[in-house]
Amino acid sequence: MEDKQIIELLFDRSEQALEAISSKYGRLCYKLAGNILNNAQDCEECVNDAYLGVWNSIPPNRPESLMAYLCRIVRNLSLKKFRYNTADKRNSSMEVAMEELEGCLGSSEDVEQQYEEKELSRTINRFIEKLKQTDRVVFIRRYYFADSYEEIARAAGISEKNVSVKLTRIRSRLREYLQSEGYHI
């Protein structure tokens, strides 16, 4: 079933929409949540909460990409659950992935920095848009979907070492790009 049809079912408040979302995007949602949480129960909870979030937000929202909309909800819920579960612990590939980016990004603890964080996000998006297709896929799979080097290598048809080298170089270029845009790293 096409996304537009699913969205129309959501506007009609048909429960078939949730079944269609689950069959079309369920595996992707569980993989995304699993990469962040490493716990089957937490994954199931986040994915089900995401389905509820889609149900409650469409209507009035009409996303252009249902997959992106759903992934964003799953990712945000998973990160929230991850922060709750790991307040004083380190046990996830997401923690490792975020630590890799620490050298490029500043802290986001201060509420007063919300505007600057949005600007930083826009700047990073512009950087990502300028990357070659392969580099963009590697970067997003690592830092958005928290895929392992092995998974990225398999999907991109390159070696794990090549993934590691690409990510190191992309982070270095990101750091330089942010500095050229006036960010102090």
Give me the CATH code for the 95-180 domain, please: 1.10.10.10
Q: Give the residue ranges of DSSP H helices in the chain.
A: 3-11, 16-37, 40-57, 66-85, 93-101, 114-130, 133-143, 149-156, 160-180
Q: What is the Cα–Cα distance from 55 to 128, expressed in whole angstroms?
A: 31
Phi, psi of 161 (to 5 degrees): -60, -40
Q: In the structure encoding, which two tokens stand for residue 51, read together?
A: 């389905």
Phi, psi of 180 (to 5 degrees): -70, -20
- Does 3.40.50.300 match the CATH number of domain 3-85? no
Q: Which of 93, 177, 171, 101 is nearest to 135 (CA)?
A: 171
The pLDDT assigned to 83 comes to 85
Using alpha carbons only, give the angle 33, 139, 145 rounded to the nearest 5 degrees: 5
Portions of the chain given CATH number 1.10.1740.10: 3-85
Cα 86 to Cα 11, 26, 75, 82, 131, distances in angstroms: 37, 25, 16, 6, 33
Q: What is the Cα–Cα distance from 29 to 74, expressed in whole angstroms?
A: 6
pLDDT in single tens digits along all 185 residues of the chain? 899 999 999 999 999 999 999 999 999 999 999 999 988 999 999 999 999 999 999 999 999 999 999 999 999 999 999 888 876 555 556 666 767 776 676 554 555 556 777 888 889 999 999 999 999 999 999 998 889 999 999 999 999 999 999 999 999 999 999 999 888 87
Burial class (CB in 10 A: 0-12, 13-18, 19+), 60: exposed
Return the CA Rg of the chain: 18
132 CB neighbour count, 10 Å cutoff: 10
- Asked whether the beta carbons of 177 and 127 are under 8 A apart, the reply is yes
Q: What is the Cα–Cα distance from 176 to 94, expressed in whole angstroms?
A: 24
Q: What type of residue sits at position 86?
A: T
